[in-house]
Structure 1
């Protein structure tokens, strides 16, 4: 039986993308920049983050289906059914989004980041520095 896990929403994305059908599949496929607005209680966690940094933003894809175990990759009806753990589909038991982004600007507890394909209002559950090659960690 699954053990429940509680995640804290540390912020939300403010994007021009208002609906999932308007969003590209990946950030590097024409996604815009967006503002990541941290909850006030997490502002100190941004210490040291500057424009130009490469980060990985982890989101909770709140409009994704959680009951799908197989999908047709990229929504292609001609593609073979594939297990979601072999895809980047948002539809999965735990719809956690992984978004490598560049920090464009820092304004208090707001980060202008991009490109990012998540829609407006998407909850952010964590932010991590992007890892380079193993020797650079």
Structure 2
């Protein structure tokens, strides 16, 4: 297996230190922003013309080792393959979130709610382009046969609830 390295382009600032939502919460009114290292600021040109962005980050605080079969906490013990889950415990702990761009000021991109811990290393930012990224024939995979619509909606919105 070949190894390679990535470098952080900045850090993600959130109010979360010990626990965070499972998904970004668009309506969370707390302060969330990406703070880019100065050498990358020119790369922000025209990013504010997009409503949403993808954020890729390094999940740097995991202590567990990845398993190839996992039981999502809300799936009542059902096991699925790791790659059929959204578990953060992965061979390469890279996180992906889609968030709303609120404003850009200097080296900061202020966003809607994020689902990461404060000071998480930021790896990359990409624009969410509706005609490329929205797939009208997408489904919910194994989850559509398991979850009630109401329960799934809570997960999609990142709203804390009982499992």
Normalised-by-shorter TM-score class: 0.7 to 0.9
Residue of structure 2 equivalent to 1:61: 59
Paired residue secondary structure (1:100):
strand
| Residue number in structure 2 paired with 1:23 | 20
* Structure 2 partner of 1:112: 110
By how many angstroms is 1:107 displaced? 1.0
Shift of 1:109: 0.5
Is the Cα contact below 8 Å between 1:72 and 1:80 reproduced in 2?
A: yes
- Is there any run of 5+ residues in structure 1 with no aligned partner, and where? none
Runs of 5+ unmatched residues, structure 2: 135-163
Measured in 1, the distance between the counterparts of 2:101 and 2:49 equals: 5
Q: How does 1:1-137 map to 2 (within 5 A)?
A: 2-19=1-18, 22-28=19-25, 32-50=30-48, 53-65=51-63, 67-69=65-67, 70-73=69-72, 75-76=73-74, 78-134=76-132
Structure-1-length-normalised TM-score: 0.84
The structure-2 alpha-carbon separation of the partners of 1:90 and 1:29, relative to structure 1 and needing over 3 Å to count, comes to farther
2:34 & 2:90 partners in 1: Cα distance?
Answer: 24
Higher radius of gyration, 1 or 2: 2
CA RMSD of aligned residues (A): 2.4
For residues 49 and 133 of structure 2, what CA distance do their matches in structure 1 show?
A: 24
| Structure with greater proportional helix content | 2
Distance in 2, matches of 1:117 and 1:98, equals 10
Structure number with the higher strand fraction is: 1
Tell me the TM-score normalised to structure 2 length. Answer: 0.72
CA displacement at 1:52 relative to structure 2: 5.8
The alignment of Structure 1 onto Structure 2 pairs a total of residues equal to 132
